[in-house]
């Protein structure tokens, strides 16, 4: 499914704390949310890739407690938002491909996007300093199949990226509060 090198960064690190805070700000007024430890991923020439997958879980995970809650027992959660930031783009190809999203038009910025074969799917080129953000779940907490995505193989060089995922606790109201 995946051929790459990965490592998780320590959540306690000041830079990680800043990135996690930015993720929360992208999601606005979502309560009872947790952000996972950021993950560095390196794809190299020779077939490194990640086949089509979703970041949300078919069966919600029960491995985290709601932050700030007196009840420390794990609650069901799923990945609400995803960010993939491009840190190094010394590569040929290696686009992030969303097969169920519309393709861009020929007038799109060719440095950021590529035209998909047969106009099917969105191809995001790896460009250092750019990032892709998407919501994984519908408002009712079910997974959005349009978020299937893949990291296409690198034909030359290296691509390094950063994954940041937020978790939403399914037994709680998504917005609002007491």
pLDDT tens-place string over residues 128-145? 999 999 999 998 889 999
- Dump pLDDT digits (tens) for 18-70: 988 888 888 877 766 789 999 999 998 887 778 999 999 999 999 888 777 78
Q: Which fold has domain 2-169?
A: Jelly Rolls (2.60.120)
- Dump pLDDT digits (tens) for 78-126: 999 999 999 998 999 999 999 999 888 888 888 888 877 776 899 999 9
- Dump pLDDT digits (tens) for 62-72: 988 877 778 88
Sign of CA dihedral 12, 18, 20, 24: positive
Residue 171 clears pLDDT 80, i.e. is over it: no
User: In the chain, where are the structural domains located?
Assistant: 2-169
The two structure tokens encoding residue 108? 């799109």
Instruction: Write down the pTM of the prediction.
Output: 0.88
């Amino acid at each position: 499914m995946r051929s790459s090198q990965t490592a998780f960064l320590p959540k306690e690190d000041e830079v990680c704390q800043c990135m996690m805070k930015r993720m929360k700000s992208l999601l606005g007024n979502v309560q009872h949310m947790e952000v996972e430890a950021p993950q560095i991923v390196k794809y190299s020439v020779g077939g490194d890739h990640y086949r089509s997958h979703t970041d949300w879980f078919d069966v919600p995970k029960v491995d985290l407690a709601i932050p700030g809650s007196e009840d420390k027992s794990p609650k069901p959660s799923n990945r609400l938002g995803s960010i993939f930031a491009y840190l190094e783009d010394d590569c040929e190809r290696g686009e992030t491909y969303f097969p169920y999203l519309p393709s861009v038009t020929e007038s799109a910025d060719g440095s950021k996007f590529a035209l998909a074969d047969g106009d099917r799917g969105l191809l995001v080129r790896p460009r250092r300093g750019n990032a892709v953000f998407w919501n994984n779940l519908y408002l009712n907490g079910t997974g959005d199949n349009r978020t299937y995505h893949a990291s296409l193989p690198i034909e030359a060089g290296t691509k390094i990226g950063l994954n940041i995922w937020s978790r939403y606790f399914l037994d709680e109201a998504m917005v609002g509060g007491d």
